[in-house]
Amino acid sequence: MQCLYRLQFLKLILIFNIYLYAFFQLVKREGAGIELPMTGDKVFVHYVGTLLDGTHFDSSRDRGEKFSFELGKGQVIKAWDIGVATMKTGELCQLICKPEYAYGSAGSPPKIPPNATLVFEVELFDFHGEDLTEDEDGGIIRRIITKGQGYSKPNEGAAVEVTVEGTFEGRVFDQRELKFEVGDGENLSLPVGVEKAIMSMEQGEEALISLKPKYGFGNAGNGKFNIPGGAMLQYKIKLAAFEKAKESWEMNTVEKLEQSGIVKEKGTQYFKEGKFKQASVQYKRIVTWLEHETGLQEEDEKKAKALRLAAHLNLAMCFLKLQEPNQALENCDKALELDASSEKALFRRGEALFGMKEFERARDDFQRVIQLYPANKAAKSQVKYCLLKGNSNNFHLSIMAIAATNMETASLFLTTAAAWNPEKKKTQLTVSFRFWFGM
Q: Which residues are catalytic?
A: 47, 57-58, 77, 103, 120
How many whole angstroms separate alpha carbon 362 and alpha carbon 355? 9
Alpha-carbon dihedral 228, 234, 235, 236, rounded to 10 degrees: -150
Which residues are within 8 A (CB) of 264 and not within 5 positions of it... i.e. 6 or more apart? Answer: 282, 283, 286, 307, 310, 311, 314
- In this structure, the strands spanning 42-51 and 56-59 are antiparallel
3-state secondary structure of 425: helix
Angle, CA 326 vertex, CA 325 and CA 328 arms, to 5°: 60
Q: How far is CA 251 from CA 197, 354, 421, in A?
A: 26, 39, 63
Let me know if 136 is exposed, middle or buried by CB neighbors in 10 A (0-12, 13-18, 19+): exposed
Question: Is residue 348 a contact partner of residue 313, using CB atoms and an 8 Å limit?
Answer: yes
Q: CA gyration radius for the chain?
A: 32
Q: 110 preceded by cis ω (within 30°)?
A: yes
Determine if residue 33 is left, alpha or beta; phi over 0 gives left, psi from -120 to 50 gives alpha, anything else beta: left
Q: How far is CA 229 from CA 79, 132, 164, 211, 218, in A?
A: 45, 22, 21, 13, 6
